[in-house]
Structure 1
Amino acid sequence: MCLLKTWVRSAVALTFLSGAAFADVTVSQSNDPTASLGGHLSALLGAERTALGSLPTHRLEAMAGAVKRATGKADAAPAAPRLDERWLATQPVPAASREWQCLATALYFEARGEPIEGQVAVAEVILNRVDSPGYPRSICGVVHQGGQFSYTFDGQPDTIREKAAFQRAGKIAAAMLAGAPRALTQGATHFHTRAVRPGWAHRFPRTAAIGGHLFYRQPGS
């Protein structure tokens, strides 16, 4: 609040300088600016501080908001949350839906051994694909697109045996569907484990390395 008051006071001082008070300074300059300019400015700024100090806080905040709107400067975007156990504990129990089921299942089979950030990063890839041209327009469509996610075509039954791990993946999936920031992978559309090196990895720019996965963004996506 002190910074806000100081900033507003400085802005208003410029307004005062453009009026009658500035005319006084101009007259002094025509006589002997080196002798009197400093004194006039000190007196002027002292009067300005006294005047602004008498204004209530809500008036100062309103003046700051008016200047901000006039200059077109918006408030800074809120910082992305820290993706840790405390964050996960604040997430609500997910409401089941087909899209949630597809995302949670993909996180379980592709990244359940990863830390929270690693699972969020994989969720970002899936959601980024939904938003990108050339991919299905739904999470289930992306997940089950032929040859994309290994657990869908490895010939093994998709049996969820680790209930706690699936609950964890489910909460992460729900948070991402609810609009949690995608701030980890810089728009990645692909990922692979560090143990393999698919051909496309040579052509796509790498955007992140999180846990056991490397992330890439397909050009044009």
Structure 2
Amino acid sequence: MALSKALLRIAALAVVATSLGGCSFLGINFGMAQLSEKECLMRAMYFESNRSSSEGMLAVGTVVMNRLYDGRYPRSVCGVVGQKNQFAQGVLTKKMTDSGAVLASQMADQVLRGARHPGVANAQHFHTAGLRFPYNNMYYVLEAGGNEFYEKRKPGTF
């Protein structure tokens, strides 16, 4: 009896935590199961690319797909986008409130049909344009949509 009450409390806590704090509880993603691959992709492109640039959205979408097919990241678009500390906080839960959502939807369709930004090439990383970091393994390949896209390479292989 005590065990079942404890399990009910844990289940209730999980429901409350996921409804208040996004889609993760104890490292387990709950909310992503409700989103389609397209919705996860368009949300990443919408929140990460300044919402107005199709080029920037395509570049972000290309990074998501590069990660998906790499094998070191989760094996679904929603898994890649929802991976902790990789994309904008709340990317899978915030509301999309402007016309950029229409463009993100169109661009997500294109990416899911195989479109890729040629300038991104194999890059799996990006950060806000204008920032610079003192690491010697960041090989920049493109600036688009307010972001700079880069590959991580061993020093001297540029």
**Where does residue 128 of structure 2 map in the other structure?**
193
Deviation readout 1:60-114 (Å, 9 max, x if unpaired): xxxxxxxxxxxxxxxxxxxxxxxxxxxxxxxxxxxxx710000011111111434
Cα distance between partner residues in 2 of 1:216 and 1:115: 19
What are the equivalent positions in structure 2 for 1:173-212 lying under 5 Å apart? 173-198=108-133, 202-212=136-146
**Worse-superposed segment, 174-183 or 120-129:** 174-183
* Number of equivalent positions: 120
- Which runs of no fewer than 5 residues in structure 2 stay unpaired? 1-34
- Residue 147 of structure 2 corresponds to residue 213 of structure 1: yes
1:112–1:169 CA contact under 8 A, matched in 2? no
User: 1 or 2 for the larger relative contact order (CA 8 Å, sep ≥6)?
Assistant: 2
Cα distance between partner residues in 2 of 1:114 and 1:195: 18
Q: Report the TM-score, using the length of structure 2 for normalisation.
A: 0.67
- Residue 107 of structure 2 corresponds to residue 172 of structure 1: yes
1:103–1:123 CA contact under 8 A, matched in 2? yes
Deviation readout 1:159-184 (Å, 9 max, x if unpaired): 1211x210110100011101124412
Amino acid at match of 1:192: H
**Where does residue 95 of structure 2 map in the other structure?**
159
2:58–2:116 CA contact under 8 A, matched in 1? no
Larger radius of gyration: 1
- Residue 73 of structure 2 corresponds to residue 138 of structure 1: no
Amino acid at match of 1:146: K
What are the equivalent positions in structure 2 for 1:25-174 lying under 5 Å apart? 98-152=36-90, 158-162=94-98, 164-174=99-109
Cα distance change of structure 1 residues 192 and 114 upon mapping to structure 2, 3 Å threshold? farther
Cα distance change of structure 1 residues 147 and 127 upon mapping to structure 2, 3 Å threshold? same
1:144 is displaced (CA, Å) by 0.7
3-state secondary structure, aligned to 1:191: strand
RMSD: 2.4
1:114–1:212 CA contact under 8 A, matched in 2? no
1:152 is displaced (CA, Å) by 3.0
Cα distance between partner residues in 1 of 2:45 and 2:133: 20
In the TM superposition, structure 1's runs of 4+ consecutive aligned residues that sit over 6 Å from their partners are none
- Percent of aligned positions that are identical: 34
Cα distance between partner residues in 1 of 2:68 and 2:56: 19
Deviation readout 1:16-74 (Å, 9 max, x if unpaired): xxxxxxxxxxxxxxxxxxxxxxxxxxxxxxxxxxxxxxxxxxxxxxxxxxxxxxxxxxx
- Which runs of no fewer than 5 residues in structure 1 stay unpaired? 1-96
**Where does residue 29 of structure 2 map in the other structure?**
none
Cα distance between partner residues in 2 of 1:99 and 1:133: 17
2:139–2:152 CA contact under 8 A, matched in 1? yes
Amino acid at match of 1:214: E
Q: Report the TM-score, using the length of structure 1 for normalisation.
A: 0.49
User: Hey, which of these two has a bigger chunk of helix by percent?
Assistant: 1
